[in-house]
Amino acid sequence: MNVAFLTEDGVFRHPKFDHILSGCTSLRVLDLAPALTARGVIKGVEVCDIPVADARAAREMMLIGSSVKVAPIVEWDGKRIGGGRPGPVTAALRELLEEDMRGNRDRLIAVPYA
């Protein structure tokens, strides 16, 4: 499970993979996220070190992983994130991922059952 943030100025930030697992779901979300930049939903995508103070100031915070896909975090240590409600960028990223998972049939691998 990974965590990512939307900064106050609209940049989607994901921590570098130096000390965390580079999960396939996070990597795919990072591949898909620039589409939101092209649509004007976010201002950019960055993989970088994220200081705790910046994380706490995030407009949106989300978990990313194969079991939850892209799930909003609305509170951290008793402090509301983004007004305490799931944000639109989290929803948009989840939708992109779900569309990608359903729509890319060319990436599916047939599994023979005997």
pLDDT in tens, 12-21: 999 999 878 7
Average pLDDT over residues 8-36: 93
| Domain boundaries, given as residue ranges, for the chain | 2-98
Mean pLDDT of the chain: 92
Say yes or no to pLDDT of 23 above 70: yes
Question: What are the tokens at 114?
Answer: 């005997």
pLDDT in tens, 35-89: 999 999 999 999 999 999 999 999 999 999 999 999 999 999 999 998 899 999 9
Closest CA to 15 of 33, 34, 2: 2
CB 26, CB 14: distance < 8 Å: yes
d(CA 31, CA 76): 27
Look up the CATH architecture of domain 2-98. Alpha-Beta Barrel (3.20)
